[in-house]
Amino acid sequence: MKLAALVGAIGVFGATIAAPAAASVIDTSGGYASKIDYFGAQYTPTYGQTFTVGSDNALNGFTFYLGGGAARVRAYVYAWGSAGPLGAALYASDARSFAGTAGDAFDALRFDVGALDLRAGQRYVAFLTTAGLAQPGDGEMSWMPTAGSFGSNAYDGGDFVYTNVGSSLDAIARTQWDDPHGAFGDVQFRADFSPGATAGAGVPEPAAWAMLIGGFGLAGGALRRRRARTTVRFA
């Protein structure tokens, strides 16, 4: 095999083993089991879910679920501290209208983020808030369906969180939240991820490393043979 062809083959092989893995998903959604009431501008204006980022660290989008009375909301993503958001908003949505549902029915509100690079192993919070938005005139409360029975730990990487701070987003983002420390369990929530720009190339498996090193050995041998056949002449 010619050296150029061999190196080209190794390059293709290297690109193959560095290809990112399939996207990962956090998903606690399902059928109705229970709910957390009193979400809305006249009640508790901010409900959210904390989550922990895995090795696929680019957040593509997330979904909350609402039932009950109509509401207008925005969605946000922040880094999460011990009892509240940290720093500036990493994502802020446009205003969305939830039309309301009857009985135990609920609807999905999907927010496309667009491959937001987060830090693997770090906890974040996504939340819905009515802060700063004019609301429908009926004033009925909305609710979020729980992930399983009320208080159950459906997801180990986070918890339902909330705050009763008023209609100011600045106050919501910069004060301690009423974190129930997992006592309320988790709400139904979905977030999907893909490998981010800061995640680095995929790490080859041991067998892949062996093949790659072997390929470089073949390339080195071909180069040495080529040098051995070269005749150097002096004028």
Domain of 219, in residue numbers = 3-19+203-228
Q: Are residues 123 and 157 in the same domain?
A: yes
Per residue in 147-159, pLDDT tens? 999 999 999 999 9
Per residue in 177-210, pLDDT tens? 876 677 899 999 999 999 998 754 333 434 443 4
Contact 119, 48 (CB under 8 A): no
Query: Is 216 a residue whose pLDDT tops 80?
Result: no
Q: Are residues 173 and 218 in the same domain?
A: no
Angle of helix 206-228 versus helix 3-17 axis, rounded to 10: 170
Total domains, the chain: 2
Sign, Cα dihedral of 168, 171, 172, 177: negative
Can you give the pTM of this predicted structure?
0.75
**Burial classification of residue 145, based on how many CB atoms lie within 10 Å of its CB (0-12 exposed, 13-18 middle, 19 or more buried):** buried
Sign, Cα dihedral of 206, 211, 216, 220: positive
Coil, helix or strand at residue 16 = helix
Residue 155 is assigned to a structural domain of this protein: yes
Q: Are residues 13 and 77 in the same domain?
A: no
Q: Are residues 36 and 99 in the same domain?
A: yes
40: CATH: 2.60.120
- H or E segment to which residue 127 belongs: strand 123-129
CA dist 33 to 67, 148, 228, 230, Å? 13, 6, 76, 78
Per residue in 57-104, pLDDT tens? 999 999 999 999 999 999 999 999 988 999 999 999 999 999 999 999
